[in-house]
Amino acid sequence: MSARITAILWLMFLPIGSLAANFEGCYLLHVASWEPPAKENGTYFLIPERIRLTQYPSSTGEFAVRAFPGDPSLNLNEATWRISKNRVQITLSANGLSGVTFDLAESTLGLSGTARTFWDFPAQEQHSAVTARRTNCPRNGHDV
């Protein structure tokens, strides 16, 4: 059996938690300009500057995303992440109906990919380039 086939079989049966441990941690988010330009509406575009990908379960069964204490986007009631085909998919939403999804892959910067808006009302989808650069997590004893 070739090394490539062995590696593929190994990855197929590797528990998701093991893969999640590779991505768990804190990240600085940078979202480029939205196309088409997004209307500045803090209700819908309150994206945190820093997030923590945890292995805590969310209400949806995916992993939970936490914003840092003091971040104005702490109203993220539906902030989750998962691994799909070796990519990290993050969803940030205040109500679970409108928000932003990130589809990210490993890069020299940490994680990079595309952000896309989604809406529960008629609206045009926006997209943007996004990077998530790994950073140190707070050590103040408070979970983020």
pTM: 0.79
82 by DSSP, 3-state: which?
A: strand
Asked if residue 13 has pLDDT above 70, the reply is no
Residue 76 pLDDT greater than 90, yes or no:
no
pLDDT digits (tens, 9 = 90+) for 96-114: 888 899 999 999 889 999 9
| Contact call for residues 53 and 68 (beta carbons, < 8 A) | no
User: Nearest 5°: phi and psi at 4?
Assistant: -65, -45
16-135, which class in CATH? mainly beta
Instruction: Return the DSSP state at 36.
Output: S
**Where do the domains of the chain lie?**
16-135
Count how many residues are written for the chain: 144
